[in-house]
Structure 1
Amino acid sequence: MNDPFVVGREVEVAANSLVDRLLGEKVDEKCRLFAVTGMGGIGKTTLAQRIINHPKIKNFFNLDPVWVCVSQTYSEIELLKLVIRKAKGSCVDSNTKSELQTVLSDSIASGQSLFLVLDDVWRADVWVELFRVPLYNSKGVSES
């Protein structure tokens, strides 16, 4: 797991620690959330990339990890559709937030687990307003 393009052992240690916490004792919890916050340029995205590409993560979650960049200005509808597509769901003709949240919830079938990364988030309410309810209500999801 040595990446010659990442400088510093701290990133590797932090990634391993977070992966161990994520997959620790309470992996039966329906939903787990980890937030990596801080000012720009300190390595939050690098850390998230290390975690999402960690072999333990790839082995634990049975859906491909979903990585979404949330720009400073974003469309809730388009963001939901993007996550649904990446989670192998189908948006059909849904065009409202609540319809798309239901589609997202239904896209994660029983027994499946999803690892979701929201990168470059400028507003803390993105998780609360768009993803918390559909992912908690899905038939079977472990998310972080």
Structure 2
Amino acid sequence: MSTRDFYTALNAQLAGLLSTERDWLANTANASALLFMELPDINWAGFYFLHDGELRLGPFQGKPACTRIPVGAGVCGTAVATGEAQLVEDVHQFPGHIACDAVSASEVVVPLYDGDRCLGVLDIDSPSLARFTREDLQGLQDFAEVLLQNSDLSGA
């Protein structure tokens, strides 16, 4: 199965999973579980939400994680500060990387927006270098869009 086909199927599965629920907590918990179950070669999948100028840990699957990340710090904080998704082949080469899990080697972070307002980020880590491709990034941005369209994340 091609990467594009994989994400088409994954995003359809997410849409079905969220079709009868709009609660942000339930939906982000299920979304992180779905990613952790379906994405190969990852060790963390979850969300951070923006509160009072910092990112705070939300639902996730994987090892315990950093609970607060300042905007502009690490890969997640950089995604919020720049408003751009981050695709990092080697997190150990990323300036200011925050090592919540020393095993993580690559990372992809997708900012979540409600109009012009950043709500937080979708964050996925892998123990393999260069695990994520541009196709993965696009598929995960589409995943985030399905989540945003089917959830009331403004209450997060």
TM-score by length of 2: 0.32
- TM-score (structure 1 length as normaliser): 0.33
Q: Which protein is richer in strand relative to its size? A: 2
